[in-house]
């Protein structure tokens, strides 16, 4: 993947957050709380659980559909970061040779089951996080976090991370283009050049940080980034959190897939 496409991918995630849908209109706090709850519940499942996790896909699917976020775009992003999850779980089948039955008469090595469980949990949590950003916008999330009581310093760091990701990426893109233009074939694209580029970018970033801090001081900065947005929670926000919470609770404590299976069998037979 070239740098340019990676950059436009992030830009697209940012653009999606400016839309206006039911999900976008929810208070950032409601979405942050629901997403945190979702992640916590999904992660709380024991390591051999796969089947019971499947109903949770309903949440990202529903949020994505109502928020008008293209499913293919989110899926691609999830696949792009999946190597992390694969590395975490890839050795499970080797280290965990026990056998578990997954269906009557079918049993597989426990390692494969826990590997599958990691992948499913990963897909669920990452897609939920991406959807949160795509439907709330990063600054919205920061405002939500701040109003939920997260420390001001932490939240302003996140805000700067967001603002200057774009500046740094543009800078990187320019440097990468300048390099590609003067490196023919593979010469010049090697690791040594890469390391030097990273070094240069780091120094530039430090200098830029100094200038930004100067600009902040020049406008009276005294430690906290002020905000004057006062969003009030509406009934729809409360309903969203409540509905999501109930759904998570049901899926956590009631074996929904097994019940569906039993029901299907009874109807069939």
Partner 1 sequence: MSHHLLEFKDVRFRYPDGTEALKGVSFLITHGESVGIVGANGAGKSTLLLHMNGQLLPTSGRVTVGEVPVLKETRSEIRRKVGVVFQNPDDQLFMPTVFDDVAFGPLNLGLPPDRVRERVHEALRRVNALALVDKPPHHLSGGEKSAVAIATVIAMEPDILVMDEPAASLDPRSRRSVIGLLNSFAHSKIVASHDLDLILDVCARCLVIREGAIVADGNAPAILSDAALLAENNLELPLTLQGRHAGEAACR
Q: Which of 97, 104, 105, 226 binds partner 1 (CB under 8 A)?
A: 226
Stretch that binds partner 1, among 36-44, 48-56, 135-143, 237-245 (CB under 8 A): 135-143
- Closer residue to partner 1, CB minimum distance, 219 or 266: 219
The conformational region for residue 26 under phi > 0 = left, psi -120 to 50 = alpha, else beta, is beta
**Contacts (CB under 8 A) with partner 1, residues 73-112:** none
Q: Which of 193, 215, 243, 249 binds partner 1 (CB under 8 A)?
A: 215
By the rule CB under 8 A, 212 interacts with partner 1: yes
Tell me how far, at minimum, the Cβ of 134 lies from partner 1, in Å: 15
Site string for partner 1, 27-66 (x = CB under 8 A): ----------------------------------------
Site string for partner 1, 165-194 (x = CB under 8 A): -xx---------------------------
How is 194-246 classified by DSSP, letter by letter?
A: HHHHHHHHHHHHHHHHHHHHHHHHHTT--SS------PPP-HHHHHHHHHHHH
What are the angstrom distances between the C-alpha of 170 and each of 4, 164, 173, 228? 9, 10, 5, 30
Closest CA to 55 of 262, 196, 260: 260
By the rule CB under 8 A, 163 interacts with partner 1: yes
- Which positions ≥6 away from 110 have C-beta within 8 Å? 48, 96, 97, 98, 99, 100
Tell me how far, at minimum, the Cβ of 130 lies from partner 1, in Å: 19
Q: Enter the DSSP assignment of 83.
A: H
Q: What is the distance between the alpha carbons of residues 39 and 132, in angstroms, rounded to a whole number?
A: 12
By the rule CB under 8 A, 208 interacts with partner 1: yes
Stretch that binds partner 1, among 86-94, 138-146, 181-189, 244-252 (CB under 8 A): 138-146
By the rule CB under 8 A, 145 interacts with partner 1: no
Q: What is the distance between the alpha carbons of residues 267 and 269, in angstroms, rounded to a whole number?
A: 6
Work out the end-to-end distance of the chain between its first and last CA atoms, rounded to an integer number of angstroms.
52
Q: What is the dihedral sign for C-alpha 104, 110, 114, 120? A: negative
Stretch that binds partner 1, among 22-30, 62-70, 75-83, 133-141 (CB under 8 A): 133-141
Site residues for partner 1 per CB under 8 A? 14, 137-139, 142, 159-160, 162-164, 166-167, 208, 211-212, 214-222, 225-228
């Amino acid at each position: 993947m070239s740098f340019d496409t990676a950059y436009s991918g992030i830009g697209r995630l940012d653009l999606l957050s400016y839309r206006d849908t039911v999900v976008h209109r929810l208070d950032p706090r409601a979405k942050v709380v629901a997403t945190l709850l979702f992640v916590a519940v999904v992660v709380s499942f024991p390591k051999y659980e796969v089947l019971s996790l499947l109903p949770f896909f309903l949440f990202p699917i529903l949020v994505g559909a109502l928020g008008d976020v293209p499913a293919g775009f989110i899926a691609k992003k999830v696949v792009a970061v999946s190597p992390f999850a694969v590395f975490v779980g890839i050795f499970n089948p080797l280290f965990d040779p026990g056998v578990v039955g997954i269906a009557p008469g079918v049993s597989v090595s426990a390692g494969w089951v826990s590997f599958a469980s990691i992948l499913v949990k990963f897909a669920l949590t990452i897609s939920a996080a991406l959807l949160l950003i795509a439907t709330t916008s990063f600054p919205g999330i920061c405002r939500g976090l701040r109003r939920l009581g997260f420390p001001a310093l932490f939240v302003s760091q996140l805000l700067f991370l967001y603002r200057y990701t774009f500046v740094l990426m543009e800078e990187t893109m320019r440097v990468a283009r300048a390099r590609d233009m003067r490196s023919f074939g593979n010469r010049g694209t090697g690791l040594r050049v890469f390391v030097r580029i990273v070094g240069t970018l780091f120094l530039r970033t430090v200098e830029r940080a100094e200038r930004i801090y100067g600009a902040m001081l020049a406008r009276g900065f005294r430690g906290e980034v002020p905000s004057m947005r006062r969003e009030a929670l509406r009934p729809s926000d409360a309903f969203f959190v409540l509905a999501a919470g109930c759904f998570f609770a049901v899926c956590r404590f009631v074996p929904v897939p097994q019940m569906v299976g039993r029901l299907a069998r009874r109807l069939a037979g």
